[in-house]
Amino acid sequence: MKKSTTSGNVSSSLILKRKYNEFEVQEMFSPHDHCLPMSFTVKLNDWWCDCGHFQALRLPCHHVIIVCSFSHVDLTSYIHLVYSLYNINKAYEIQFYPVKNKEYWSTNTGPNFIPDPNIHRRVWERLPTNRIHIEMDQPNPIPTDEVNVHIVEMKDIIGEIILIVSNLLLYPIF
């Protein structure tokens, strides 16, 4: 709801068609959304909006929120009863008891899903890329002899640093 009310600030005008009790909400161009101006028809009596969100979820979309605020109509009257606290509590009032012994579990009577091994991609394979590969994309493997030499040199340097720090702690200069 909060998202709908904040996105409702993009509307520029509201036109009332008294003959059919319809409202037309025209949206301005929004540079953040990169969408062109559009107009949506809202019929409050029929619970209808052209965007389709109002019919699908039975919750007011931001076009309906704009119309309700313009008409000084209570917005909560356009929230379906399914979302009421009474119905939510009613749905969860039945206690669920887990079946502890696996022998009492019912067997699956539906179809078994057997994946096609010819279509299945192996986990260690990467997906193919569509871009052009150049020399920079090819890895330059470092010979293992050079890596081992670098590791030995680093161990010697770390050993010397530890020796210097321990001598400073044992024999302070000051």
> Please, which residues bridge with residue 40 across strands?
25
For residue range 62-77, what is the model confidence (pLDDT) as tens digits? 889 988 888 888 998 9
Provide, rounded to the nearest whole percent, the portion of the chain with pLDDT above 90. Answer: 11
- Count other Cβ atoms within 10 Å, centred on residue 78: 17
Q: What's residue 48's pLDDT? A: 92
Domain boundaries defined on the chain:
2-85, 143-174
Average pLDDT over residues 114-120: 73
Instruction: Indicate whether 127 pLDDT > 70.
Output: no
Q: Does 161 or 42 have the greater pLDDT score?
A: 42
Rounded Cα–Cα distance for residues 78 and 53 (Å): 13
Greater model confidence, 132 or 85? 85
Element spanning 12, H or E: strand 11-17
In 18-114, beta strands by DSSP E: 22-27, 39-43, 48-49
